[in-house]
Amino acid sequence: MEELMCWVKARRCWRKMYHGVMYEISCKKLGCPPQQALSRRQANAWWKVKQHDLDNIVPDALAIHQRLELELMEIYVKMGLNDYRIEALKRALNHPFEDIFVGQVEEAHKIGQNRIRMPLPATLGDSRQDYFTLKAKVVKSAKGLASIKRHVNALWDWLNGRKIDGQAWSDWFAECGVRYPDDASRRNCWADTRAFISWLDESEVIVAPRNLKSKHFSISNGDKTIITWEPVEIQQVFAELKCESRLHFLLMLNCGFQGMDIANLLNTEIDLVARTITRKRSKTKDEENTPVVTYRLWDDTFDLLMLYKKPLGQYALLHPDGLQWIVSETIDGACVHRDRVSRALTKVAKTCGVQKQIRKLRNTSASTLGSHTQFKFYTQYFLGHSPKSMAEKYYLTPNNAEFFLALAWLREQYTF
Q: CA torsion 31→35→36→41, rounded to 10°?
A: -30
Burial group, residue 189, by CB count within 10 angstroms (0-12, 13-18, 19+): buried
pLDDT at 81 (0 to 100): 43
pLDDT exceeds 80 at position 126: no
pLDDT at 68 (0 to 100): 59
pLDDT exceeds 90 at position 76: no
Which H or E run includes 410? Answer: helix 400-412
pLDDT at 161 (0 to 100): 79
pLDDT exceeds 90 at position 112: no
Under 8 Å between Cβ of 310 and 317: yes
Helix (H, G, I), strand (E, B) or coil at 6: strand
pLDDT tens, position by position, 206-253? 888 889 988 888 887 655 688 899 999 999 999 999 999 999 999 999
Q: Average of pLDDT values for 293-321?
A: 94
Q: Average of pLDDT values for 275-300?
A: 92
Kindly indicate the confidence band of residue 314, based on its pLDDT and cuts at 50, 70 and 90.
Answer: very high
The structure's pTM equals 0.58
pLDDT at 57 (0 to 100): 58
Alpha-carbon torsion (56, 62, 65, 66), positive or negative? negative
DSSP-derived secondary structure letter, 318: -
pLDDT at 224 (0 to 100): 67
Alpha-carbon torsion (163, 164, 166, 170), positive or negative? positive
| Alpha-carbon separation of residue 45 from 7, 14, 25, 245 (angstroms) | 14, 12, 12, 81
Kindly indicate the confidence band of residue 74, based on its pLDDT and cuts at 50, 70 and 90.
Answer: low
Under 8 Å between Cβ of 160 and 177: no
Q: Average of pLDDT values for 246-261?
A: 95
pLDDT at 64 (0 to 100): 55
Q: Average of pLDDT values for 49-55?
A: 84
Q: Average of pLDDT values for 152-161?
A: 89
Kindly indicate the confidence band of residue 188, based on its pLDDT and cuts at 50, 70 and 90.
Answer: very high
pLDDT at 110 (0 to 100): 46
Spell out the domain ranges in the chain.
Answer: 6-55, 61-115, 123-202, 231-412
Type of residue found at 279: R
Lowest mean pLDDT among 39-48, 228-237, 325-334, 363-372: 325-334
Burial group, residue 68, by CB count within 10 angstroms (0-12, 13-18, 19+): buried
Beta partners for 224?
none
| Higher-scoring residue by pLDDT: 57, 225 | 225
pLDDT at 299 (0 to 100): 95
Among 197, 195, 194, smallest CA distance to 208 is for 197
Kindly indicate the confidence band of residue 89, based on its pLDDT and cuts at 50, 70 and 90.
Answer: very low
> In 177-262, which ranges are E strands?
none
Q: What is the CATH number of domain 231-412?
A: 1.10.443.10
pLDDT at 50 (0 to 100): 87
pLDDT exceeds 80 at position 171: yes
Q: Mean pLDDT of all residues in the chain?
A: 82
Lowest mean pLDDT among 12-16, 122-126, 404-408: 122-126
